């Protein structure tokens, strides 16, 4: 996890990992008062650098259906639809 501070307070985080080939960004969060100031872009740049240093050649991330703001943000940064289907299965009982 990478983080950014503003006046000693946590302003943004990005959770990033890799499998030795492909990198993943799992969560990016920017505190409301710090949004629209380039911090999200900077966090993604840092995540990409972290992955490159570890030999990852590609970065993937998932955006939930209906999250137009997040989708627009990532498209603005040059990310594009990878045309894949994500499958999931819960490993815990929902009871």
Give residue-wise pLDDT tens across range 52-75.
999 999 999 999 999 999 999 999
27/50 Cα distance (integer angstroms): 15
Q: What is the pTM of this model?
A: 0.86
Q: How many CB atoms lie within 10 A of CB 81?
A: 8
CA 18, 72, 82, 42 torsion-angle sign: negative
75/82 Cα distance (integer angstroms): 12
Domains of the chain: 2-76 (3.40.630.30)
Give residue-wise pLDDT tens across range 5-57.
989 999 999 999 999 889 999 999 999 999 999 999 999 999 999 999 999 99
Give residue-wise pLDDT tens across range 75-87.
999 999 999 999 9
């Amino acid at each position: 996890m990478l983080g950014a501070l503003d006046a000693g307070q946590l302003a943004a985080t990005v959770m990033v990992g890799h499998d030795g080939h492909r990198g993943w960004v799992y969560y990016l969060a920017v505190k409301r008062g710090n949004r629209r100031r380039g911090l999200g872009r900077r966090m993604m740049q840092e995540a990409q650098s972290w992955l490159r240093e570890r030999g990852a050649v590609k970065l993937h991330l998932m955006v939930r259906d209906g999250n137009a703001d997040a989708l627009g943000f990532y498209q603005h940064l040059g990310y594009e639809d990878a045309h894949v289907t994500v499958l999931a299965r819960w490993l815990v009982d929902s009871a």
